[in-house]
Amino acid sequence: MSIQGISNNNTSYADPVGSSEMGKEAFMELLVQQLKNQDPMSPMDNDKFIAQLTQLSELEGIQNLNDNMVGLAVLQQGNALMSQLTQSSSLIGKDVTYFNPDTGEENIGSVQSVKIKEGIAILNIEGVDVPLGNVLEITEGSGSGDDSGGDDAADNGSEG
């Protein structure tokens, strides 16, 4: 029976990004090396071995929790953007009073479209891009176009 010798290969167990914290792969590699190179006449105490395995398990659990939290934050950000877009789309065709970011004046115009830009809902009001936060008042559309014909039909039905 031969016993494998201990070699010094100057392996670094730190994370590649230069962090002083040890990753789970490095921790596992260190544990395996410790087991491979332990003195057969005085092996590692079972309590110490279990404590090291527990630390590895805790490290993996914390990393998984961190990954889940990051995923949840990204999902919440996406949901907030979609909510903003959905709620803002209900303004299309409505007249709004808004603070014009270019001129610094209050203007009135009809919302033509909505887009998300850099995480903010931007309304296109008659060719002017206006952040949703600059809207001061919302009123029904001017009634021009096909909507007026529909109103006449509704009025005729209520008279007779």
Its pTM stands at: 0.45
Q: What is the span of the domain harbouring residue 125? A: 91-141
What's the number of domains the chain is made of?
Answer: 2
Q: Would residue 129 count as lying in a domain?
A: yes
Q: Would residue 15 count as lying in a domain?
A: no
CATH number, domain of 125, equals 2.30.30
The structure tokens 């805790």 sit at 58
**Amino acid (one-letter) located at 49:** F
Q: Would residue 156 count as lying in a domain?
A: no
> Rounded to an integer, what distance in angstroms lies between the CA atom of residue 80 and that of residue 87?
10
Region label for 119, one of left (φ > 0), alpha (ψ between -120 and 50) or beta (otherwise):
left
pLDDT 10s digits, 54-91: 887 888 889 889 999 999 998 988 888 888 888 888 88
Q: Would residue 1 count as lying in a domain?
A: no
Is 20 a residue whose pLDDT tops 90? no
SS3 state at 23:
coil
The stretch 122-149 carries a mean pLDDT of 75
Structure tokens at 123: 């309304």
Do 98 and 119 sit in the same domain of this protein? yes
